[in-house]
Amino acid sequence: MEQLEQALPYTNMNESSLMYFKHPKRSVKLSLPVRMDDATVRVFQGYRSVHSIALGPSMGGVRLRAGLNTHECEVLAAIMTLKNAVADLPLGGAKGGIDVDPTTLSSAELQRLTRRYTSELVELIGPREDIVAPDVGSDEQIMAWMLDTYNENLGNNTLGVVVGKPLPLGGSYGSKGARGHAAAGVTRRVLEDRGESLKHASVAIFGYGDVGRQCAQRVTQLGGRVVAVSDSGGGAYDSSALDLDALNARRDASGTVQGFATALSPAELLSLDVDVLVLAYDYGSIHAGNVQGVRARYVVEASNRAVLPEAERALKVQGSVVIPDLIASIGGVIANYLEWVQDASNFFWLEEEILNAIDARVLASVNAVLDLARAQHTDLRTAAYALALEKLHTASELRGVYP
């Protein structure tokens, strides 16, 4: 709310429409009893928060993460509302998931938990109500289980309730790699706007999962030098540039980048003296406790809320530019939107058409934020917030208040 209120002077938003933003439309907490492989029953906690439907049905990820709670879901749902608005999509924001470390469960246990979670939400989700997507800890397989459970419960075969699905189940080309691919493109555009270039720039990537990997590949294609990456197992560093083909082969074989090139810890990666630091791990990667070590000139939020507010204030003081999640990770929501549209029409585009559509929409959104930031002499996050809030204000005013 602190950062949101900084954007209010650049909008026409009034107290009435601001009230809609301050309070999520709906948050639910679920008790999920699941029979484990050893025949015991364990009860997990599940969550789903719908923040806004002012612009259209809500859409947001399902995360499987130990320690997940209602507050985290509500914060991330609000960010999804803003991100969809910045991307000019007819969608609101949502977020949910389960308090669990999925790596501690067998495949059968994970499937039973996923299906139980979906069954509890079946009357609240839907292609015209609330669309679910992958997030931290979930993937195409989990989306496939959710799709099947939803349709088994309702006795139909609706595809658009879930996005990020496998291709044979109504998924879309470009879905898996869109966020990382777009984060690199957004970075290039922001640097160009400031008279700089991504070509030959040194780049470190914190979080080498699907998003980080795709970002690294796109950065390399655009002429940048990926000098360091890290995952939960460790990190790898080469001051010239990492050999991504060899690095990916190593990670595919061992499950980690640890042991490739010069070893470094994830914490050490955050303090490298590089041109660009890409955050592709999770919420709160840079916080008050570690921000003083960050030396990158540009910090890119390829994951939602990767830089916490106090840390962002410190980065501004030291001269680092934060490229916020509302534009840096926008490729994912655009890809999800395009999959949803294809499912609704039952007409699917070619891979080249999808990638071109994602790139065009990402560029339009970033340019709109850059133009507003320049016109109002403000930072990128404030400009992105202002752009989104103005769209939400207009929609709320047009809808009015239901008696």
Question: In whole angstroms, what is the distance from residue 321 CA to residue 301 CA?
Answer: 11
- Interaxial angle between packed helices 351-376 and 70-86, expressed in degrees from 0 to 180 and rounded to the nearest 10: 90
State the DSSP string of 277-327.
Answer: EEE-S-TTSB-TTTGGG---SEEEE-STT-B-HHHHHHHHHHTPEEE-HHH
The pLDDT profile of the chain, 403 residues, written as one tens digit per residue, is: 777 778 888 888 877 778 888 889 999 999 999 999 999 999 999 999 999 999 999 999 999 999 999 999 999 999 999 999 999 999 999 999 999 999 999 999 999 999 999 999 999 999 999 999 999 999 999 999 999 999 999 999 999 999 999 999 999 998 888 999 999 999 999 999 999 999 999 999 999 998 999 999 999 999 999 999 999 899 999 999 999 999 999 999 999 999 899 999 999 999 999 999 999 998 899 999 999 999 999 999 999 889 999 999 999 999 999 999 999 999 999 999 999 999 999 999 999 999 999 999 999 999 999 999 999 999 999 999 999 999 999 998 888 877 6
pTM of the model: 0.92
pLDDT value for 223 = 96
Per the document, the length of the chain is 403
pLDDT of residue 106: 98
Q: Does domain 178-319 have CATH number 3.40.50.720?
A: yes
The CATH code that applies to domain 2-160 is 3.40.50.10860
CA distance 27 to 129: 14
Residue ranges per structural domain of the chain? 2-160, 178-319
Task: Answer whether 2-160 and 178-319 agree in fold.
Answer: yes
Residues with a known catalytic role: 95
